[in-house]
């Protein structure tokens, strides 16, 4: 039930509808105006149609997983917690090996290291990256893999549709030059419609393609550097504060191998499994490993 709290954002609803509309529009134009006219007599029509639809299917599957998966919501306590004795509670938690846990005043609960409160979801999310309206959900520890896969397949689909549209357009121009030139007035309305669809799909592909590739790159950098955007911002502020106050050494950041960091997100399976929207095995038996990061406040 907790996952459905994220569905109340109107911007998220609009972005979800826009995503589905863009995917189905791209499929319609590619099939109706690119593949059928340009490759109608060859096996390329079936081949390109199958591959393109497979990419779109994977895109939608990853998107659905990112939308409906729990991003890693910190559970709310069954009973109200008394925070009046916060200092002694914190020391007790440290004794139990729960260093780095903080208190969220809005959720009124303790939260593990790297968890942040999302104002849209109104919950604390473990290793929260950001709240994404395109999936109407937070990107967090448990669904970041699906979000990155969604970006990957959107980028591939955008590139593929660009190549198909441009090649079909070139084919159409060449075909028109070679064929009859005397009855060019007869097909003008149809021609304009096709060109309009080509232009709209090209603009859509360029916009979405560039957009997702930039976010895809940011996501990979944040995994490899083991810092979410929120942590990057906080660390930058800490560096600025330190340099302003004194030249004391900065807190040491955990340095895990890049492959280990990628496996924490994409699972321990083979690299081929990283491309599929399958639930990966948890990073450790009996729970999730939290990186040792300095404590921070709400």
Give catalytic residue positions: 132
Positions 137 through 176 that interact with Zn ion (CB under 5 A): 138
**Of residues 178, 153, 8, the one with CA closest to residue 66:** 153
**Of residues 225, 143, 142, the one with CA closest to residue 151:** 143
- The residue among 30 and 73 lying less far from Zn ion, judged by its C-beta, is 73
Cα–Cα distances in angstroms (integers) from residue 95 to residues 89, 90, 187, in the given order: 10, 9, 80
Q: Is residue 106 part of the contact set for Zn ion (CB under 5 A)?
A: yes
- The residue among 96 and 119 lying less far from Zn ion, judged by its C-beta, is 119
- The residue among 151 and 194 lying less far from Zn ion, judged by its C-beta, is 151
255: left (phi over 0), alpha (psi -120 to 50) or beta: beta
Interface characters, 118-137, with Zn ion (x: CB under 5 A): x-xx--x------x------
Least distance to Zn ion, CB of residue 147, Å: 12
CB under 5 A: which stretch of 54-62, 104-112, 222-230, 263-271 binds Zn ion? 104-112
* DSSP, residue by residue, 11-72: HHHHHHHHHHHHHHHHHHHIIIIIIHHHSTTSHHHHHHHHHHHHHHHHHHHHHHHHHHS---
CB under 5 A: which stretch of 46-54, 112-120, 225-233, 234-242 binds Zn ion? 112-120
Binding-site size, Zn ion (CB under 5 A): 10
- The residue among 106 and 191 lying less far from Zn ion, judged by its C-beta, is 106
CB under 5 A: which stretch of 117-125, 140-148, 156-164, 259-267 binds Zn ion? 117-125
Beta-sheet pairing, 130-132 with 137-139: antiparallel
For residues 281 and 263, what is the distance between their CA atoms, to the nearest angstrom?
10
- The residue among 24 and 83 lying less far from Zn ion, judged by its C-beta, is 83
**Of residues 265, 21, 33, 20, the one with CA closest to residue 172:** 33
Tell me which of 58, 59, 67, 107 binds Zn ion, using CB under 5 A: 107
Helix (H) or strand (E) holding 170: helix 144-178
Least distance to Zn ion, CB of residue 1, Å: 16
Q: Is residue 103 part of the contact set for Zn ion (CB under 5 A)?
A: no
In angstroms, how far is CA 184 from the centroid of its own chain? 47
Least distance to Zn ion, CB of residue 91, Å: 22
Q: What is the CA radius of gyration of the chain?
A: 25
Tell me which of 48, 114, 117, 130 binds Zn ion, using CB under 5 A: 117
Q: Which long-range contacts (CB under 8 A, 24 or more apart) does 190-198 make?
A: 194/33, 194/37, 195/169, 197/29, 197/33, 198/29, 198/33, 198/34, 198/165, 198/168, 198/169
For residues 267 and 92, what is the distance between their CA atoms, to the nearest angstrom?
33
CB under 5 A: which stretch of 115-123, 141-149, 194-202, 226-234 binds Zn ion? 115-123
- The residue among 117 and 127 lying less far from Zn ion, judged by its C-beta, is 117
Q: Is residue 31 part of the contact set for Zn ion (CB under 5 A)?
A: no
Least distance to Zn ion, CB of residue 171, Å: 46
The contact set with Zn ion (CB under 5 A) reads 104, 106-107, 117-118, 120-121, 124, 131, 138
């Amino acid at each position: 039930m907790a996952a459905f709290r994220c569905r109340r954002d109107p911007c998220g609803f609009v972005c979800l509808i826009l995503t589905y509309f863009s995917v189905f529009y791209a499929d319609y134009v590619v099939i109706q105006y690119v593949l059928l006219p340009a490759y109608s007599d060859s096996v390329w029509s079936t081949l390109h149609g199958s591959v393109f639809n497979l990419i779109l299917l994977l895109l939608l599957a990853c998107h659905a997983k990112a939308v409906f998966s729990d991003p890693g919501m910190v559970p709310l306590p069954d009973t109200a917690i008394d925070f009046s004795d916060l200092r002694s509670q914190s020391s007790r938690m440290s004794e139990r090996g729960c260093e780095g846990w903080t208190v969220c005043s809005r959720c009124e609960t303790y939260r593990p290291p790297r968890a942040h409160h999302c104002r849209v979801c109104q919950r604390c999310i473990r290793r929260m990256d950001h709240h994404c309206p395109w999936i109407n959900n937070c990107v967090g520890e448990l669904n970041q893999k699906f979000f990155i896969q969604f970006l990957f397949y959107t980028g591939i689909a955008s590139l593929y549709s660009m190549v198909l549209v441009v090649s079909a357009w070139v084919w159409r121009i060449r075909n028109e030059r070679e064929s009859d030139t005397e009855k060019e007035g007869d097909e003008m309305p149809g021609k304009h419609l096709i060109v309009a669809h080509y232009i709209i799909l090209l603009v859509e592909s360029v916009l979405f393609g560039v957009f997702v590739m930039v976010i895809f790159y940011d996501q990979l950098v944040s995994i490899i550097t083991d810092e979410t955007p929120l942590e990057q911002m906080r660390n930058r502020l800490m560096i600025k504060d330190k340099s302003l106050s004194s030249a004391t050494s900065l807190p040491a950041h955990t340095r895990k191998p890049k492959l280990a960091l990628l496996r924490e997100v994409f699972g321990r399976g083979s690299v081929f499994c990283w491309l599929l929207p399958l639930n990966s095995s948890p990073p450790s038996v009996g729970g999730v490993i939290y990186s040792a990061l300095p404590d921070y406040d709400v």
